[in-house]
Structures are given as C-alpha cells and as structure tokens.
Amino acid sequence: MTLYSTGIRRSELVRLRVEDIDSERMVIHIRKGKGGKDRDVLLCPRLLETLREYWRWKKPKTWLFPGQPRDHGDHLTDKAVWYVCNDAAQHAGIKKRVSPHMLRHYASSRTMLPRRTRSGFGPSQASFCSDGLVFVMGHSPGGFCYSVLR
C-alpha cells in the first residue's frame, strides 16, 4: 500500500525509518533517494492509519520495514519487496504480473494528473501536473520523464 499510495521507489521504501513518517505535516521524508537527494512525498490519511496499525502490530524500532532477525537489524531487501508484491497480487486474484515499479506508475497517474472539469484543465493544474509530478517522483530536470512531461 505504501508503494501505491506514495509512488516511491522500492529502494526508498526499504530504507524508510520510523522517524521519516511526519504525521503533523502529512509527509514521508525520503532520505538519499535517486541521485542522493532528499525529498518529501505526500502522506494520505488512509496510509497513515494503515502505517499506524502496522506499527502497533510489528513495533519497528529503527527501520519501518525491518528485515528478518538473521539480518542483524538491517532493513528489508529490495528483492523481498518483489516477492511481497507478487504474493499480494496473487492473493488478490490478479492474473497479470505486478511489480513494485508498476505501483509507482499507477501512483503517479492516479494522484498527480489534473482532474478534468467542465471547463477543462486550469493553467495551475497543468503546471502542477508537469512540475509537481517531476518533483514528487524524484526526477531531475533534463531527464527523460521531465522532457516527456514538458
């Protein structure tokens, strides 16, 4: 749910710390994402409640998603996220292959694209669509995604 709701990369997901969840500002702080840059992504109320339930159940100390006990306190691995996505898709009865990166794409198309109104797209909506999507998804100006959105 965190990947789908936020659109973060799986490498960013596994390195989330408990203190990265800011419920006052309703953001998740991403540390050293792609390119070594920090950024904040939006935290929706439903995800916050789900993460709170998860925290009450697992009580993670440092890493939000810790690895196995044999990992000596390290975080979950990127590969484990793959397996969790596939297992969740099978459990939900989804026949197609689901990858963590697909959830990133779904998150961007679901949350960042402007909503069409009777009067069409407003200028601020179109600007947010390109600028906001590039910023939140962690792409840099001049990259492929940036040039496509412009």
Which pTM was predicted? 0.69
Using CA atoms, how far residue 62 sits from 30, 55, 58, 67, 142, in Å, is 15, 11, 12, 11, 35
Residue partners of 68: CB distance under 8 A and separation at least 6: none
Higher-confidence residue of 105 and 35: namely 35
User: Do residues 45 and 95 share a domain?
Assistant: yes
Residue-level pLDDT at 102? 81
User: Do residues 12 and 51 share a domain?
Assistant: yes
Cα–Cα dist 125/56, whole Å: 38
Higher-confidence residue of 68 and 116: namely 68
pLDDT(130) > 50: no
DSSP letter, residue 26: T
**pLDDT tens digit string along 62-112?**
999 988 766 667 888 888 988 988 898 899 999 888 888 888 767 666 655
pLDDT(29) > 90: yes
Rounded (5°) CA angle 132-138-143: 90
Higher-confidence residue of 14 and 115: namely 14
User: Do residues 118 and 107 share a domain?
Assistant: no
Rounded (5°) CA angle 15-17-21: 120
User: Do residues 88 and 105 share a domain?
Assistant: yes
User: Do residues 118 and 106 share a domain?
Assistant: no
One-letter amino acid for residue 3 of the chain: L
User: Do residues 35 and 67 share a domain?
Assistant: yes
**Are residues 96 and 51 in contact, defined by beta-carbon separation less than 8 angstroms?**
no
Residue-level pLDDT at 139? 52
pLDDT(149) > 50: no
- pLDDT tier at 17, thresholds 50, 70, 90: very high
Higher-confidence residue of 139 and 44: namely 44
CATH code where residue 53 lies: 1.10.443.10
**Which two three-digit tokens encode residue 99?**
């990858």
Could you tell me the residue range of the domain that residue 55 belongs to? 2-111
User: Do residues 88 and 128 share a domain?
Assistant: no
Query: What's the total number of domains in the chain?
Result: 2
Using CA atoms, how far residue 65 sits from 40, 77, 101, in Å, is 18, 9, 18
Percentage above 70 pLDDT, the chain: 67
